[in-house]
Chains A and B, each alone.
Chain A
Amino acid sequence: MGQTLILGLMTGGIYGLFALGIALVYRGSRTFNFAQGEIGTMGLFIAFGLVERVGLPWLVGALVAILAAALVGFVFERLVVRVMIDASRVAVAVGSVGLLMLLLAVEFKIVTVSARSLRAPIGGVGKEILGVVVSPTHMLSIGVAALVAVGLALMLKKTDFGLGVLAAAQDPVAVRLVGVPLARVSGFVWAMGAALSALAALLVEPTVGVFAPGYASELFLKGLAAAVVGGLTSLPGAFVGGLVVGVTEAGVSRVFASAAFPGIKSLTVLGLILCVLLFRPGGLLSGLVAKGESAS
């Protein structure tokens, strides 16, 4: 039981990071970036190239990857999202599907399908907690995820621009009327969402082992579920949603471990999304959402 919990929390933290990026973009533009996961995979390939091929240290590779991801997000916002300021939110989402296809296509072309593996940032033997071996990378992942989440929250609340980002989600017209440049808020949000995705992919990869084109998109779906569970606009809710998804997934895997039916995890994710959207569209925690953040 405890094992499942620990396992679930570890993966959940990563989902939480993805979810943060998703919720952020949703708050900023009221839509989803369906390419957000794949941007993370792209980051992985970049890091791989720099670390495994060129021989740069992990940190450098990771940093470049994250910056590249942010750039992709920013450019996409500038060229596509901003132009579609009056278009439907679904149309913007469809546009992001185009970005997804582009990234996949480029990856297939340049790197072919074979799987890669990126070495872990920290070596060493793990500690044992409640019967589960927690590697240093695991601990790093959780630590970084929590740190980033907190840092983001602080930045949003304490800086003027950050406040503008929060306000823009609550009322995009009024925020212009106080003089906050909505366009810049939008650019920031998309760049940040992409960067968070790359970070999450980098953190989770060593624990999974190999990656290939399309890899992070699957994680992205779980991040999407996490964001939905958390209420889509609540940032702390998104992170907690990630934990919920992680633990639920681990639990279900354990219970149905020996079942003949494949893909139980993806069914769980689907089930969660459906249940929340149909019965508690404000998020699973909509009654208990943290103060200072209104759900949707």
Chain B
Amino acid sequence: MTAQVGLGTRGSEGDSQPESESCVSRSGKVLLEVENVVTGFGSNTVLHGPSLSVREGETVGVFGLNGAGKSVLMKVIAGVLPLWSGRLAFDGADITRVPAEERVARGMGHVPQGRQVFPGLTVEENLRLGAYTLRRHDKGRYPAALAAVYERFPVLAQKRNQLGGSLSGGQQASLAVARALINQPRLLLVDEASAGLAPVAVRELFHTLRQVVATGVTILMVEQNVSFGLQLVEKVNILQMGRIAYSGDVNTLDQEALVAHLGIGRMLGKGVAGTLAGRNVPPGAPESGKGGKAPKRAAPGSRGGANKRKGAAQG
């Protein structure tokens, strides 16, 4: 019964290369570049110059408390919020002034905050709209793309003629993801997809996203629910009050750092981490380097790094 962070693993195959269903390769090329973005609303500066980059094939997460600026960052990358200074580049090309629709055409896909499926359109119509760019380029590819989506999301296939607004929260989340994927994007931007979902739906979404990750699509995800997000990403950025407080591999992040960088326990510093560390470590916690199944809900698994530190603290 610990409150340990679910610093779980990514992909149930551990560290082996995930099988690619799409043609996206892990080339290591930088797909998205965000440089020193400063922006806000009116007189309120929300982002104070954070930078990050996403390489092809990676799954990158951005975490932070409310008000840290995660959503604003996503909106700037998407192109629906202008930036005051800074630079954005996608696949080598500068997209700082490119409008949102154009960015989608270039290969960005979005799962927006709150899902935002079109409530008055059916599931199939939602998907058809999602494939807007695809259909403009090559209408012939659409039937296959649609079929593939229905195969991966059988629930959507069942409800294809139902209105988007009549679906449950979890189903809407699936629809939002499917709608973004059907266009075969190069970069998928997921904005707090788990927010407002019931626990059951969150689990559903998790599995969905895990599958997506496994296909090798590049993902940048913003999450409020740190436990949820940490189990999916391989690179972590922590945003605090509009600045990047931490950026690195998920392996190198231990609980103390996490809690500290999020800003939950800054004043107490080591105190909180020590308290956490002093709790029971679930039996059979895996060593670092391997993945391994995360144990049951009550006692989420932890990563090797944290174990090592706990050992030291206890010792």
Determine whether A and B are in direct contact in the complex, meaning some CB atoms lie less than 8 angstroms apart: yes
Contact A163 B163 (CB under 8 A): no
Please encode chain B, from 117 to 136, with 1 for each CB lying within 8 Å of some chain A CB and 0 for all others. 11111100100111011011
The reply on A113 being an interface residue by CB < 8 A is no
A 169-183 contacts with B by CB, 8 A: 170-171, 173-182
Residues of A within 8 Å of B101, CB to CB, are 176, 179-182
Give the shortest distance, in Å, between A27 (CB) and chain B (any CB).
10
Contact A179 B105 (CB under 8 A): yes
The reply on B116 being an interface residue by CB < 8 A is yes
Interface size on A, residues (CB 8 A): 22
Give the shortest distance, in Å, between B209 (CB) and chain A (any CB).
18
Please encode chain A, from 265 to 296, with 1 for each CB lying within 8 Å of some chain B CB and 0 for all others. 00000000000000000000000000111100
Contact A173 B112 (CB under 8 A): yes
Q: Which residue of A lies closest to B191 (CB)?
A: A177
Give the shortest distance, in Å, between B26 (CB) and chain A (any CB).
26
Q: Which residue of A lies closest to B189 (CB)?
A: A177
Give the shortest distance, in Å, between B59 (CB) and chain A (any CB).
20
Q: How large is the interface on B (under 10, 10 to 19, 20 to 34, 35 or more residues)?
A: 20 to 34
Q: In whole angstroms, how far apart are the Cα atoms of A174 and B126 in the complex?
A: 11
Contact B120 A176 (CB under 8 A): no
Number of A-B contacts (CB under 8 A): 73
Please encode chain A, from 139 to 182, with 1 for each CB lying within 8 Å of some chain B CB and 0 for all others. 00000000000000000010010011011001101111111111
Contact A179 B118 (CB under 8 A): no
Contact A163 B116 (CB under 8 A): no
Contact B129 A164 (CB under 8 A): yes
Q: In whole angstroms, how far apart are the Cα atoms of A174 and B120 in the complex?
A: 13
B 89-111 contacts with A by CB, 8 A: 99-101, 104-105, 110
Contact B118 A171 (CB under 8 A): yes
Contact B125 A163 (CB under 8 A): yes
Residues of B within 8 Å of A160, CB to CB, are 128-129, 132, 135-136
Q: Which residue of B lies closest to A179 (CB)?
A: B104
Contact A177 B78 (CB under 8 A): yes
Residues of B within 8 Å of A182, CB to CB, are 101
Contact A170 B120 (CB under 8 A): yes
Residues of B within 8 Å of A181, CB to CB, are 101
Give the shortest distance, in Å, between B72 (CB) and chain A (any CB).
14
B 123-175 contacts with A by CB, 8 A: 125, 128-130, 132-133, 135-136, 163, 165
- Out of A170, A176, A177, A179, which one reaches B121, CB within 8 Å? A170
Q: Which residue of A lies closest to B80 (CB)?
A: A173
Q: In whole angstroms, how far apart are the Cα atoms of A175 and B125 in the complex?
A: 13
Give the shortest distance, in Å, between B189 (CB) and chain A (any CB).
9
Complex A-B, nearest 10 residue pairs according to Cβ-Cβ distance, in ascending order: A179-B104, A174-B116, A177-B110, A294-B120, A176-B100, A179-B133, A167-B118, A179-B132, A181-B101, A170-B118
Interface pairs (14), CB distance under 8 Å? A164-B129, A173-B116, A174-B116, A174-B118, A175-B118, A176-B99, A176-B101, A176-B104, A177-B78, A178-B104, A179-B133, A181-B101, A182-B101, A293-B120
Q: A176-B99, A180-B101 are in contact. List 11 more A-B contacts (CB 8 A).
A: A163-B125, A170-B120, A171-B116, A171-B118, A174-B117, A175-B129, A178-B110, A178-B129, A178-B179, A178-B180, A178-B183
